[in-house]
Chain A
Amino acid sequence: MASSGPETILAISGLKVTNTLLATLVVDLVIVLLVVVIRRRLSLVPGKLQAAAEGIVGYLHTTTEQVAGARTTMIFPWVAVFFIYIALSNLIGLFPGFGTVGFFRAEGFVPILRVSTSDLNVTLALALVSVVAANALAIRSNGLGGHLKRFFSLSPLLLFVGILELVQEVTKLVTFSFRLYGNISAGEVVLGTMSALAAFVVPIPFLAFEILVGLVQGLVFALLTMAFMTILTEPHHKEEHSR
């Protein structure tokens, strides 16, 4: 059921349309539809959908406020977008039809839709966006010089810490992408194995666990992005003067 890379369904003049790309488009469509529906029925007495959306966005906002403080307006959009996209993508991937509806080709079964976050390309792209955005926000709030001071310094101890920080930027990419990819594709394998073992009843607890994992992984990605952005955008001038 699950394989290491996405399967190409068709190629339009060099652009490979893979099943994870199609799943990404489905998730985007769902998000846009949700936004349109919730916007249209906006009322003071919230319906079920509006209450759920308000709860999620409100929780993320208060959490960001507690950690980031004054920089909430700068960091919150990234956190919310990462959580909504990743959690929705993981949850939609559990629906029937994902990974099961497809066609047979010479190399084997090819599903039309596959969970987008079980593709390393997608998670690596998300990680790149997160890390580059964190550094861009840091440059915007501390200035280029102030941001570079974090990595390069004349004092040997701070230079060593700076090198560690530089390594950490690369490490973030690896851990962000592989955490999400590993969790979701491992879940796919487990669900596939369990469904092959016994088609009824047995996979249900694993499905419930995968719902939890999907939500938690979205939250972890969002909270880590938030934490790293908060750390990087921290103004460290006061510290320098007091020394």
Chain B
Amino acid sequence: MNFTLSVSGGLIVAIGGALPGIAIGLIGAKAMEAIGRNPEASGRIVPNMILAMAFAEAIAIYSLIFAFLK
């Protein structure tokens, strides 16, 4: 095996993954807060939470693709 040193892929995922990570954390925190206030609404909150998380996660997935491609 020959190894070539490359940091760009790691950097792309590190930066492109950190911010969506914060976003998903905020979405999850707010959703938990909402469920805590109104537990009966959890059935309606959870699918919307996952939808919002998916939109935030999409950005991390783009950076993953770029890290693979670079």
Question: A residues near B, CB below 8 A?
Answer: 4, 62-63, 66-67, 171, 174-175, 178-179, 182, 219-220, 223-224, 226-227
Chain B residues 23-51 with CB under 8 Å of chain A are: 43-44, 46-48, 50-51
Select from chain B the residue with minimum beta-carbon distance to A67.
Answer: B47
B57 contacts A175, C-beta separation under 8 Å:
yes
A174 contacts B65, C-beta separation under 8 Å:
yes
A63 contacts B61, C-beta separation under 8 Å:
no
The DSSP consensus for interface residues of chain B is helix
B50 contacts A219, C-beta separation under 8 Å:
yes
Select from chain A the residue with minimum beta-carbon distance to B51.
Answer: A227
Q: Does B54 contact A (CB under 8 A)?
A: yes
Interface size on B, residues (CB 8 A): 16
Q: Can you list 21 pairs linking A and B with CB atoms under 8 Å apart?
A: A63-B46, A63-B47, A66-B43, A66-B44, A67-B47, A171-B58, A174-B62, A175-B54, A175-B57, A175-B61, A178-B64, A179-B54, A179-B57, A179-B61, A182-B61, A220-B50, A220-B53, A226-B47, A227-B47, A227-B48, A227-B51
Question: B residues near A, CB below 8 A?
Answer: 43-44, 46-48, 50-51, 53-54, 57-58, 61-62, 64-65, 68
Cβ of A67 to closest chain B Cβ, rounded Å:
5
Cβ of A30 to closest chain B Cβ, rounded Å:
26
